[in-house]
Amino acid sequence: MLENTRREFLATAAASAFTIATASQVRSADANAKLAIGVVGCGGRGQFIGDLFNESNQAKVVAVADYFQDRVAEAGEKWGVSQARRYTGLDCYKKMLEGKLDAVAIESPP
């Protein structure tokens, strides 16, 4: 029969106390930080979804991608996305995924 002494129990408890990590240590981000969202497809549906993310106060659209330059420019201006995070062309989503994002919303025609 195995019995731990009080000293062994306290030593184990003290050691385990140092293994608890905060959310910011695990994710390397502030626990209360907004999620960085990328939107692929910046037409009507994409802009609607992007607005919902930004209005939620839990997420922020930080990157946009679409085949059409005018849609990317409109969405980027609307949400304050930097020029460096606006992607166009057939492989625009690949370029966007190279950056740091927490999630991506893909909005395409039905």
Identify the pLDDT of residue 33: 83
Q: Residue 104 in contact with residue 98, Cβ under 8 Å? A: no
Q: Residue 60 in contact with residue 51, Cβ under 8 Å? A: no
- Average pLDDT for residues 80-90, to the nearest whole number? 96
Position of tokens 């996305």?
81
- Domain-located, residue 50: yes
Partners of 35 in beta bridges: 59
- Domain-located, residue 9: no
Look up the domain containing 44 and give its range.
24-106
Report d(CA 70, CA 79) in Å as an integer.
14
- Domain-located, residue 10: no
**pLDDT above 90 for 39:** yes
Q: How far is CA 20 from CA 9, 24, 87, in A?
A: 17, 12, 40
Q: Residue 94 is part of a domain; what is its CATH number?
A: 3.40.50.720
Count of the separate structural domains present in the chain: 1
DSSP classification of residue 24: H
Output the average pLDDT for the chain: 83
